Chains A and B, each alone.
Chain A
Amino acid sequence: MKRSILVAPLLFLLLWVLITSFSLVNPLFLPSPLRVALVLVQSFTSGEFFQDIGMTLVRLAAGFVLGMVLGIPLGLFMGYYQKVYDYLDFLVDFFRSIPVASLFPLFLVVFGIGELSKISTTAWSTSLVILINTMYGVRNGKKLRIMVAKTMKASEYQIFVKAIVPEALPEIFTGLRTAISIGLIVVVLTEMLMGTKTGLGQRIFNASLMYQVPEMYAAIFLTGLLGFSLNKVFVVIGNRVIHWAGK
Chain B
Amino acid sequence: MEHIVIRDLSKRFSHSVDGEIHYVDVLDNINLQVMKGEFVTFFGPNGCGKSTLLNIIAGLLEPDTGSVMIDGKPPQKARIGYIFQNYRDSLFPWKKNIDNIAFPLELQKVSRKERRNKVRDVLGRLEIKIPEDMYPYQSSGGQQQLSAIVRAFIYEPDVLVMDEPFSSLDYQTRFFMQGKLLDICARTNSTVLFVSHELDEAIYLADRVVLLDKRPAKIISILENTLSRPRNHVMIETKEFFDLKTKALRLLKEAVEL
Chain A residues near B (Cβ < 8 Å): 142, 144-145, 147-154, 158, 162-163, 166, 169, 243-244, 247
Contact = CB atoms under 8 A, between A and B. Distances in A.
A151 B60 CA distance: 7
Interface centre among A148, A162, A244 (most CB of B within 10 A): A148
B80 interface: yes
Contact of B93 (A144, A147, A158, A244): A244
15 contacts: A142-B89, A145-B90, A145-B92, A147-B82, A148-B84, A150-B60, A151-B59, A151-B60, A152-B103, A152-B155, A154-B107, A162-B92, A243-B135, A244-B135, A244-B137
Nearest to B93: A244
Contacts of A247: 93, 137
Contacts of B94: 166, 169, 243-244
B92 A151 contact: no
A54 B106 CA distance: 45
A169 B106 CA distance: 20
Interface in B82-101: 82, 84, 86, 89-90, 92-94
Contact of A148 (B59, B82, B93, B137): B82
B92 A163 contact: yes
Given A166-B94, A243-B135, A149 B89 contact: no
A48 B93 CA distance: 48
Interface residues of B, number: 21
B107 A151 contact: no
B107 A144 contact: no
A151 B58 contact: yes
Contacts of B103: 149, 152, 162
A169 B94 CA distance: 10
Interface string B135-159: 1010000000000000000010000
A145 B92 CA distance: 7
A144 B91 CA distance: 9
Contacts of B106: 162
B104 interface: yes
A179 B231 CA distance: 59
B90 A148 contact: yes
B90 A144 contact: yes
A206 B143 CA distance: 63
A247 B58 CA distance: 30
Interface string B96-140: 000000011011000000000000000000000000000101000
B137 A151 contact: no
A247 B94 CA distance: 11
Contacts of A169: 94
A66 B42 CA distance: 55
A148 B101 CA distance: 12
Give the 3 A-B CB pairs with smallest separation, nearest first.
A244-B93, A247-B137, A151-B82
Interface centre among A153, A163, A169 (most CB of B within 10 A): A153
Given A151-B80, A152-B104, A247-B137, A166 B60 contact: no
Contacts of B155: 152
Interface in B65-81: 79-81
Interface centre among A144, A154, A243 (most CB of B within 10 A): A144
Interface centre among A148, A151, A244, A247 (most CB of B within 10 A): A151
A72 to B, nearest CB: 17
Contact of B107 (A142, A147, A152): A152
A162 B106 CA distance: 10
Nearest to A158: B107
Contacts of B80: 151
B99 to A, nearest CB: 11
B5 to A, nearest CB: 20
A166 B137 CA distance: 16
